[in-house]
Chain A
Amino acid sequence: MNNKKLFKTCIATAILASISSTAMAEDETTWNISGWINEGITYYDDGQGSDVAQLGDNGTTLGSRIALTGGYKPENTGLQFGFEVIVEPTAAVDGNSSSPLLSNQDGVSNANAFGSGVSLLSNNIYMSGDFGKITIGTQSMPTDNIAVLADPSVTIWSGISPLFRMLGFSIRGVDATAGNQTWGNFAQCAGLNGLGIGIDCNGIYRNGIRYDLPEFGGVNIAIGYANDEVYDVALKYAGEVAGLTTMFNAGYAYNADGGQNVLGSSSETLQFQLGLMDAESGMFGTFAYQMEDVEDAAVGSGDDTSAYHVKVGVKRAYNSYGDSAFYVDYGSYNDQYGMAHLEGVTGSKLSVLGFAAEQNFGARFLMYAKYEIIGLDVDGTSNAQALYSGAQDLNLLQVGATFFF
């Protein structure tokens, strides 16, 4: 009987407390401008030629952005409403390129952003409360960047790999009659219908609706639906395990119209990433893995793909400016060759080996340098070997800076 009474008292107290707290709230409106601008100089050597170009950002969803956000908490409701609008300064392109993401060597070398505009990245509104948060509009869906951001070192702006920068670059040494001419052709995502970005295969903003459950025990779960019939669910965990800063992300997406790059009817994508960091020594490591399956795809096509990425390094304050970071990363993008089976390709591996250094200046400015070697190996018939075995490595050196505001 005493326990029942105590339980009722606790419940009553909790209810009173919640009523009291909301009763004491006042209307609150907030606004904020934030974002970052990223610029750099790129040197490439594609095995046949080399050049240097000053490039703005490459236009990925982690590129330069200006975000305007606002929130409104009406009195006595326990709810919050808000919006987000994000625009991206258009990266430098030449007159012939359709997108900075797909620029080839010529496009990059002749890039001039003067006269370019800005593009819309995000435009959404939300409602949140004790039940969680519902967001509707153009937005980052739950599995966007899910295998990229579980990185306690926050060394993501220098190494947007597993997305790599020069998707539209021509692979030198590949026969002119080959169907796959660019590096992006060997990093195709089924969930994004052939857009080649390797391991972040749901990594674009979409029009949709997203529901974030309230966080519990350091775990956040979000589910989403986007046009047209793209369903996804993602889990994020951040905490401490065995004395190490630990982040773990996992995501699953079903695209009812995915896999069209291999004539499929639908696609499934499973991704996860684990990141660990020892705060005292600054040592860190991440491992990301992705697999995609396509339903009803062309037999022998790149319909069953996998990719992984690993990064190890150290980040700590070696000088008075801020944290410095040094890391090595390696990515392998397997069998993402699309329809190249028609040329006899039975397997492919696009590999990226990178070395990077970062220097932070407080919390607002970052300078970085990254050197990457991108290579291609193709398995298949003699015809496939004749077309692709001459592929030359692509060497990239990027020196850049990012200003956060």
Chain B
Amino acid sequence: MRLITISKILCMWISVFLSFASVSDEIIWEENKNVFIKLLEVETSNYEHPNTISSDVSNAFLSQISIINSNENEDALLFTSQQISLLSKYLPSALTQAKQNQVVVFSLIKKKSSLAGFLKRDLFTAGSIFIQQNTLTLKVGDVDRERQHGYESVYDPTNQGLVRYDFDFGLDSTSVASKKNTLGLLTHLDGFSTPQQNEVNIVLSKLSELPQIIQQQATSKVETKNTGLTRQEVEQILNEREASSSTHKGEIATKQQTGKSLQQTATESNKTTTKNLEERFKILQNLKDQGLISEQEYQVKRAELLAEI
């Protein structure tokens, strides 16, 4: 009897309790309760939302952000290419839907495995994006925050995805200070800055020009990564190939002057040029596979090589 009475009270309590449960966040995209892009209501209401930016511009902005690893003294990209694709796909619609008192917050995951795939690590990166004072700002809170498999296996032994993490979206400067996330930029442009250790922003007027500016920079920029063949060395090889191609073009003119048939010399030079292009394509692919160049740089250079055909 006592159990029945207590059970009834408990059921009533649960129903009242659930009615107060917060459903205030607007989901833009969600894989599960810990991997999402959504709109978060905040106390301030001076954000310049709704607003419009394109996917290309989002992609260009996000691909230029690095995170400084103090242990290795080396920059790494903050987002993986998959994360950049996802964010740049949904960020425009999120900013279009956001209200003045809402910011776009995200929590994205990347997976690492070791021991032939038996040992897995899931790492979360969480932050916020908003437009304020004519500036697009990204802030990060949690970077590579590890998922707690141990606790999840106990709380959720049948792996129903019950555990929900409380992420830091970088909006509270006091909590971020202890994490020492330091953001950097791969490219130094006017209007592009890192005013705080966990923040990157760009003036809106410069934002629309970003994709073109970055494309131009990618063709001329030289940056070294200490993993095998350096970019300088590769650039040198590519330049030598280009110079060799130019020399062949010069030879064509000379052979014309010596009386060899234009057809013959053109065919020979075409074969040489084609062979050079193939090698250059292969070198470019190899650079991308080794992680020496970014996806954007690969695309830019590939477009140039295709234009030569």
Chain A interfacial positions (CB closer than 8 Å to B): 31-36, 62, 67, 126, 133, 135, 139-140, 144-145, 149, 152, 154, 156, 210, 212, 215, 217-220, 222, 235-243, 245-246, 248, 250, 252, 268, 270, 272, 277, 279-280, 291, 293, 304, 316-320, 362-364, 404-405
Cα–Cα, bound, A156→B115 (Å): 29
CA distance A279 to B149 in the complex (A): 21
A279: chain B residues at CB < 8 Å are 166
**A-B interface contact total, Cβ < 8 Å:** 114
Nearest B residue to A405, CB-CB: B119
Other A-B contacts than A319-B178, A363-B146, A363-B148, 17 sampled, CB-CB below 8 A, are: A33-B115, A34-B149, A34-B153, A62-B154, A67-B153, A126-B158, A144-B157, A156-B154, A218-B33, A220-B162, A239-B21, A241-B21, A242-B20, A245-B166, A270-B6, A363-B147, A404-B148
User: Is B172 among interface residues, defined by CB-CB distance under 8 A?
Assistant: yes
A237–B158 touching, CB < 8 Å? no
Do the beta carbons of B145 and A363 come within 8 Å of each other? Answer: yes
Chain A neighbourhood of B18, CB < 8 A = 217, 219, 237
Number of interface residues of B (CB under 8 A): 41
Question: Do residues B3 and A270 form an inter-chain contact, with CB atoms below 8 A?
Answer: yes
For the complex formed, measure the closest distance between the CB of A95 and the CB atoms of chain B, giving whole angstroms: 31
Considering the complex, give the chain B residue whose CB is closest to the CB of A323. Answer: B178
Residues of B148-168 at the interface with A, using a CB-CB cut-off of 8 Å, are: 148-151, 153-155, 157-164, 166
Residue picked from B119, B149, B150, B162, most chain A C-beta under 10 Å = B150
Q: Within the assembled complex, what's the spacing in Å between the Cα atoms of A252 and B115?
A: 41
A301 CA to B33 CA in the complex, in Å? 47
Report yes or no: A215 in contact with B155, Cβ–Cβ below 8 A.
no
> What CA separation (Å) do A364 and B147 show in the bound complex?
10
**Interface flag for B307 (CB, 8 Å):** no
* A211 to chain B: closest residue by CB: B158
Whether B155 lies near A149 (C-beta < 8 A) is yes
Chain A residues within an 8 Å CB radius of B180: 320
Say which residue of B20, B33, B164, B175 sits within 8 Å of A317 (CB atoms): B175
Alpha-carbon gap, A218 to B19, bound state (A): 12
Binding site for A on B (CB under 8 A): 2-3, 6-7, 10, 14, 17-18, 20-22, 33, 115, 117-120, 145-151, 153-155, 157-164, 166, 172, 175, 178-180
CB neighbours (8 Å) of A140 from chain B are 157-158
Chain A residues whose CB sits within 8 angstroms of the CB of B10 once the complex forms:
250, 270, 272
- Known interface pairs A34-B153, A217-B18. Does A135 touch B3 (Cβ–Cβ under 8 Å)? no
| Partner pick for A212 among B146, B149, B160, CB 8 A cutoff | B160
Q: How far is the CA of A222 from the CA of B151 in the complex (A)?
A: 19
Q: How many angstroms from the CA of A190 to the CA of B7 in the assembled complex?
A: 19
Q: Which of B3, B6, B115 counts the most A-chain CB atoms under 10 A from its CB? A: B3
**A404 touching B150, Cβ below 8 Å:** yes
25 contacts between A and B (CB under 8 A): A33-B115, A34-B149, A34-B153, A139-B157, A144-B157, A149-B155, A154-B151, A215-B160, A218-B33, A218-B164, A220-B160, A237-B14, A237-B21, A238-B163, A241-B17, A241-B20, A246-B21, A248-B14, A252-B7, A270-B6, A291-B2, A291-B3, A293-B3, A304-B2, A363-B148
| Chain A residue with Cβ nearest B162 | A220
Give every chain B residue within 8 A of A318 (Cβ-Cβ): 178
CA distance A236 to B156 in the complex (A): 10
| Contact indicator A145/B154 (Cβ below 8 Å) | yes
Task: Name the residue of chain A whose CB is nearest to the CB of B167.
Answer: A279
- B16 CB to nearest chain A CB (Å): 11
In whole angstroms, what is the CA distance A240 to B17 when docked? 11
**Which residues from chain B contact A304 at a C-beta distance below 8 Å?**
2
B179 contacts across to A, CB distance below 8 A: 317
Distance of A399 from chain B, by nearest CB (Å): 20
| A241/B150 contact (C-beta < 8 A), A220-B160, A250-B10, A317-B175 known | no
Is B178 within 8 A of A320, CB to CB?
yes
Across the two chains, which residue of chain A brings its CB closest to B115?
A33
CA A119 to CA B154, docked complex, whole Å: 18
Interchain CB contact under 8 A, A235 and B22: no
Nearest-Cβ distance from residue B78 to partner chain A, whole angstroms:
19
A84 shortest CB reach to chain B, Å:
8
Pairs of residues from A and B, 7 with the lowest C-beta to C-beta distance, nearest first: A363-B146, A140-B157, A404-B150, A317-B178, A240-B22, A279-B166, A149-B155
CB pair A239–B155 under 8 Å, yes or no, is no
Q: How far is the CB of A10 from chain B (nearest CB, A)?
A: 19
- Which residues on the B side are within 8 Å of A242 (C-beta)? 20, 22
